[in-house]
Copies of this chain bind each other. A is one copy, B any other.
Amino acid sequence: MSPRRRDSESAAAARAERRAELLGAAAKVFASRGYAATTVREVADAAGMLGGSLYYHFDSKESMVDEILSTFLTDMWAAYDRVLASDLSARETFQALVAESFRCIDRYREAVVIYQNESKLLGESPRFAYLAESQRRFREMWLSVLDRGVMDGVFRADLDTGLLYRFVRDTVWVAASWYRSDGRLPAGEIARQYVAMVLEGILKD
C-alpha cells in the first residue's frame, strides 16, 4: 500500500465519516419532524452548518433520506437472511426474526421511524422502488414462516393468515416509535416479552 494510496484512502474515510455524521443529524430531524415537513435548513442547523453547505456533501434532500433508508435496509436484510439460512424450526425462526427486528430498532431507530412514516409516500417515486420491494419481501418472509408454523401445528390455524401477518408485522415495528435505547428495559428483554405476548397471549394461562 503506497503512501499516496493511504492518504487518499484516509481522506475518503474522513469524508465518509463526515457524511455519516451529517446523515445521523438528518435522520434525527426527519424522524422527529417528518421528512416532508423538514427543511434542509433545519437539517443543517442540527448539524451546525448553513442550509446551502449540505450540498457540498449531498446532491439533494432526497439523496439524504435515500442513503439513510438504503443503509438501514441493507443491514436489516443481511441479518434476516442469516436467520433464514440457518435452518431453524418455524417457532425458532419466528423468535429469531423478532429478536433481529428489535436489534434493528435498537441500532437504526431513526431510520426505522422514517421507513414507517415515509415509505408509502416515497415509494411512489422510481428512485425508492426498493422500499416497495422490501415490503414485498417482508410480507413473503413472514407469511412463509407463519404458514410453515401452521403446517407444523405450532401456530393456530383458526385465524386469517393475512391478518396474522399484519398483526406480527405491526406489533414488532411500531415499537420503534416509542422505544428508547436508554429506557428501562433493554432491547433483548423487550423482544422476549413481545414474543411471549404474541405467542401465548396476555391471558393468564
Contacts and interface: CB of A to CB of B under 8 A. Distances in A.
Interface stretch (A7-15, A49-57, A73-81, A154-162): A154-162
A162 B189 CA distance: 13
A157 B203 contact: no
A153 B204 contact: yes
A184 B158 CA distance: 16
A127 interface: no
Nearest to A117: B117
Given A34-B121, A121-B33, A160-B193, A201 B204 contact: no
Interface of A: 33-34, 36-37, 117, 121, 153-160, 162-164, 166-168, 170-171, 174-175, 178, 184-185, 190, 193-194, 196-205
